[in-house]
Structure 1
Amino acid sequence: MYIRFLVPINFEPYTINAINYCLLLAQKFQSEITLLHAYTPYLEEDQNDEPYNYPKITSQQEAGNELEKIKQQAIADSLSEGIIIKTKIIEGYPEDAIPEFCNSYHPDLVIMGTKSKGETIKELLGSVTLDIINSIHFPVLAVPKDYDLNLNKLQNILFLTDFCQCEYTSLHKLIRLIMSFDTMIHSVQYCNGGKEKADIDLLNEYAEYCTSTYRNQRMQSEYIYGEDILQAANEYIKNTDIDLLAITRKKRNIISKLLHPSLTKTMLFNVDIPMLFFHQ
């Protein structure tokens, strides 16, 4: 199986966690990793007094040199000879340039470092990772900057679902990415009405589909309950030692968007583990 990974790079330290996570996945496949930098011409007025612990890029040549250093380190860290690592520089603001590049590159997975949790409201609202998740139809994996990466650990995945057929495509993509790992997938639906509101027939139908379709994949399906979906999910993550949370972003009409907060934003800014976003 051949997998194409895209890792946007802005040279901040949290980017490295994204690269390392990519190498973890890539070693299980014949794969290609493209390290992408969206270069925005340096503006003098953007300077401030905040300290920098990463290169401040002022030209495409500097960007190319730094990207090549990262590439060489990734090659040295790679555990598989079947990984091809490339670099690419494009010009423009990341939230615009990265989606445009994705439309021509067609990655199987975009992996992005994120510093969102615990940062200021201004930074959260300006999150490039959130912008990318919301604007492309390719799967996006967000890796928190403080996540303690264990290259040998991908044992439990929480797939937050609603047990309907439209989720089967996301489930198939998820299994394609982790099939070479010894991983348990916990397919879970949040039921906000308590146990008495749970649709057991729907749960059983979904579980039977998984058992018959993915015979070699360890899976279990269940409902979770709690005050809200975030509290219930975080409790499940803690109690089950979850290493990755997967979720499907679904299209909503304009009225629904006005009435309900974004689950994508809520989860991205309040979960401590890597999150994998699929698109309906």
Structure 2
Amino acid sequence: MEDKLIVIANETYTSALALQGYLNSNGIECYLKNVNLIQPNISDNVKVQIREADAERAIKLLVELDDPGRGEHNVRRILVPIDFSEHSNNAALFALRIAHVYGAELKLLHVFNSPIVDLIPFSDAASVQIDVDLNFHTLQKNAKKQLVKAFEQIKRYARENGMDTVKIGYSLREGFPSYGIIDSCRRHKPGIVIMGTKGEGFRSNELVGDVAMDVAKEVNIPLLVIPEKAVLKDIYEVKNVLYAARLDDNDYAAIRKLAVILSAFKVNIWCINCTDEPENAIARARLSSLKDYAKKTIKKANIQFELVKGKYCAETFRGFISGRRIDLFAVTMHKRNLLSRLFNPSLTRKMLAEADIPMLIFPD
């Protein structure tokens, strides 16, 4: 009986040809399917097939080709958007502890909304402009007063708890919260953003706060989201971490960044892929390749790899979080569809709320 053919990639015709040549040159027979025989160059969903028995070797070759170990992440600057709610202030204290461990700089950021006036009658424009200017300066003055107060509270907490070596600064921006945070990330290039959700200035959507989602979509920086009901622990009490693997190229960079971020702590990391076909050869090969990569490049972390059977991933992960006493949930965000391939957003939000744990989002 002939070996079963399986699809290892979907590519354009040109990329599929290059991949076929690469695999063939390394002793793996490779076949192309869905090629337009009349105009092959216009084919954009060519299936690259190999024998099932060659799956593990092929995945390892693809990992070497992609070189996923580039761009190791270091935490040197931490950005903390705050809105002066108790929850965002708690997130700032959590960030302070992380900054102290890594010797990182901590910057508090507050973005306040300025008034917008529409449809002003021409005859009233001058008087309205004066009112707007006065209102803007009042808002700016009040926002700065609150920000300085929060800054002084953080500084005092740092002094009283032996963390006075942390360099702490603050920044005040005007505009919409998400745009202000995104622009600050691009200007200051922090190593990580830590923020609470659903504070006084944050609305909640189906997954996490709207502001947090906007930031996660636009910046190429890890984002630590702390849900409103999360029970915050001291950073040293974080012992068990769950990484939701998607078994694609993004996992290699994400698992490395996760290990670097947590390198100062003794933690157990579970790298889990939820699938309704745990015996699938491609899934097993990709997980094995990820495990081999972690073994070679991450020396100190204790990482376990598992394929967990489950039809509904959010519920499966929620059960895993509860059963293994997970303290931190990490995931790579697919910007094109906002995690919709992996989760039902409403279930994810419910899972996080009930589990009471922070969520670490890596960009793809």
Q: Give the TM-score range, shorter chain.
A: 0.7 to 0.9
Which of 255, 259, 262 is matched with 1:175 structurally?
259
Q: How far apart, CA to CA, are the structure 2 residues paired with 1:149 and 1:232?
A: 23
Aligned residues: 258
Aligned-residue RMSD, C-alpha: 2.7
In the alignment, is the contact (CA less than 8 A) between 2:105 and 2:167 conserved in 1?
A: yes
Q: How far apart, CA to CA, are the structure 2 residues paired with 1:43 and 1:202?
A: 52
1:37-88: CA deviation from partner (whole Å, max 9, x where unpaired) = 11112579xxxxxxxxxxxx95212111211121122122234243111010
Equivalent position amino acid for 1:109 in 2: I
SS of equivalent residue, structure 2 residue 205: helix
In the alignment, is the contact (CA less than 8 A) between 1:8 and 1:35 conserved in 2?
A: yes
In the alignment, is the contact (CA less than 8 A) between 2:252 and 2:290 conserved in 1?
A: no
Matched, 1:238 2:322: yes
Q: How far apart, CA to CA, are the structure 1 residues paired with 2:342 and 2:290?
A: 26
Matched, 1:20 2:96: no
Corresponding residue for residue 84 of structure 2:
11
Which of 229, 243, 251 is matched with 2:313 structurally?
229
In the alignment, is the contact (CA less than 8 A) between 2:106 and 2:168 conserved in 1?
A: yes
In the alignment, is the contact (CA less than 8 A) between 1:33 and 1:84 conserved in 2?
A: yes
Which of 75, 91, 105 is matched with 1:32 structurally?
105
In the alignment, is the contact (CA less than 8 A) between 1:17 and 1:145 conserved in 2?
A: no
Matched, 1:91 2:174: yes
Report the alpha carbon displacement of residue 204 of structure 1 after superposing the two structures with TM.
2.4
Structure 1 unaligned spans of 5+: 45-56, 117-121
Q: How far apart, CA to CA, are the structure 1 residues paired with 2:344 and 2:189?
A: 22
**Residue 2 and residue 127 in structure 1: after superposition, are their counterparts in 2 closer, same or farther (change >3 A)?**
closer
1:5-55: CA deviation from partner (whole Å, max 9, x where unpaired) = 1111111222122112212311211111110011112579xxxxxxxxxxx
**Residue 261 and residue 185 in structure 1: after superposition, are their counterparts in 2 closer, same or farther (change >3 A)?**
closer
In the alignment, is the contact (CA less than 8 A) between 2:275 and 2:311 conserved in 1?
A: no
The structure carrying a bigger helix percent of its residues is 2
In the alignment, is the contact (CA less than 8 A) between 1:5 and 1:32 conserved in 2?
A: yes
Q: Mean Cα displacement is larger for which, 196-205 or 163-172?
A: 196-205
Report the alpha carbon displacement of residue 2 of structure 1 after superposing the two structures with TM.
5.4
Which of 195, 198, 201 is matched with 1:115 structurally?
198
**Residue 223 and residue 261 in structure 1: after superposition, are their counterparts in 2 closer, same or farther (change >3 A)?**
closer
Q: How far apart, CA to CA, are the structure 1 residues paired with 2:116 and 2:205?
A: 22
Q: How far apart, CA to CA, are the structure 2 residues paired with 1:182 and 1:77?
A: 25
Q: Mean Cα displacement is larger for which, 133-142 or 161-170?
A: 161-170
SS of equivalent residue, structure 1 residue 107: coil
Q: Mean Cα displacement is larger for which, 69-78 or 224-233?
A: 69-78
Q: How far apart, CA to CA, are the structure 1 residues paired with 2:248 and 2:155?
A: 41
Corresponding residue for residue 298 of structure 2:
214
Report the alpha carbon displacement of residue 268 of structure 1 after superposing the two structures with TM.
4.5
In the alignment, is the contact (CA less than 8 A) between 1:108 and 1:139 conserved in 2?
A: yes
In the alignment, is the contact (CA less than 8 A) between 1:191 and 1:197 conserved in 2?
A: no
In the alignment, is the contact (CA less than 8 A) between 2:256 and 2:294 conserved in 1?
A: no
List structure 1 segments (4+ residues) > 6 angstroms apart after TM superposition.
Answer: none
Report the alpha carbon displacement of residue 265 of structure 1 after superposing the two structures with TM.
4.2
In the alignment, is the contact (CA less than 8 A) between 1:130 and 1:265 conserved in 2?
A: no
Which of 287, 291, 305 is matched with 1:203 structurally?
287
In the alignment, is the contact (CA less than 8 A) between 1:41 and 1:58 conserved in 2?
A: no
In the alignment, is the contact (CA less than 8 A) between 1:5 and 1:22 conserved in 2?
A: yes
Report the alpha carbon displacement of residue 169 of structure 1 after superposing the two structures with TM.
1.2
Report the alpha carbon displacement of residue 238 of structure 1 after superposing the two structures with TM.
0.5
Q: How far apart, CA to CA, are the structure 1 residues paired with 2:178 and 2:164?
A: 32
Identity across the alignment (%)? 27
Q: How far apart, CA to CA, are the structure 2 residues paired with 1:250 and 1:31?
A: 28
**Residue 219 and residue 22 in structure 1: after superposition, are their counterparts in 2 closer, same or farther (change >3 A)?**
same
Corresponding residue for residue 123 of structure 2:
none
Structure 2 unaligned spans of 5+: 1-73, 118-136
Equivalent position amino acid for 1:270 in 2: M
In the alignment, is the contact (CA less than 8 A) between 2:113 and 2:175 conserved in 1?
A: yes
Report the alpha carbon displacement of residue 234 of structure 1 after superposing the two structures with TM.
0.5
Equivalent position amino acid for 1:237 in 2: I
Larger radius of gyration: 2
Which of 124, 128, 145 is matched with 2:205 structurally?
124
Corresponding residue for residue 144 of structure 2:
64
Equivalent position amino acid for 1:22 in 2: A
Corresponding residue for residue 47 of structure 1:
none
Which of 209, 232, 242 is matched with 1:149 structurally?
232
1:66-124: CA deviation from partner (whole Å, max 9, x where unpaired) = 111211221222342431110100110112221112111111111110139xxxxx842
Higher relative contact order (CA 8 A, sep 6+): 1
